Amino acid sequence: MEFVAETTLSRPRRLKLHRGFSLLEIMIALAILTLGLLPITNLMSQSRTAITRSEHEMKAVIMSSTLMGAFFRLETEVFVRIPSITLNDAQMRNYGISVPSDDWVKLEAQVKAVNLPNYPTDRFINPYGRVFEVSITATSKQPGNRFYDKPITLIKDYRQVD
């Protein structure tokens, strides 16, 4: 009995045609991925801008409310002497009002008399006494901002003095 050994050399070797991805396929896949990610990055940029804007607006509201509280803590004699003009930081400090400060927000206040009855004749017609309107306006200090020289917040409240 004779054994016939088959050798692999006698058979032609077959090469696998598809071993991996070609460079063209990889480039097409990257282009599709990039086109899919562009709207997401744009959305992230817009949301970051909106978050920053809302942080600044919230800071302006908090600062305005703090300043309004300072006006209402003033003694009546000091409060009544405030003229009916728009007050800046320095003018408010002259009346003893502590003004919150920030690099981004500029606060202005206005106090005006809304109801000044003549005593004693108007006491029964107008039982509310002297009433003053306090308006606090917050604007942006930064020229590139969309709120520059426009009010971010406007808070109004009334104080009865008698």
Contact 63, 102 (CB under 8 A): yes
Q: What is the pLDDT of residues 17-53, one digit of tens each?
A: 667 788 888 999 999 999 999 999 999 989 988 898 8
Structure tokens at 159: 């104080």
Which pLDDT does position 35 carry in this prediction? 92
Contact 154, 135 (CB under 8 A): yes
Which of 9-18, 55-64, 120-129 has the largest mean confidence? 55-64
DSSP 143: T
Calculate mean pLDDT across residues 66-90: 87
Does the pTM surpass 0.85? The reply is no
d(CA 65, CA 109): 12
Task: Please provide the DSSP assignment of 24-56 as one string.
Answer: HHHHHHHHHHHHHHHHHHHHHHHHHHHHHHHHH
Q: What is the pLDDT of residues 102-160, one digit of tens each?
A: 888 889 999 888 877 776 677 667 777 788 889 999 988 887 777 777 888 899 998 88
Which pLDDT does position 27 carry in this prediction? 92
Structure tokens at 92: 């408010």
79: confidence class by pLDDT, cuts 50, 70, 90: confident
d(CA 45, CA 50): 9
The number of residues making up the chain comes to 162
Contact 161, 79 (CB under 8 A): yes
Where does residue 35 rank: exposed (0-12), middle (13-18), buried (19+ CB within 10 A)? exposed
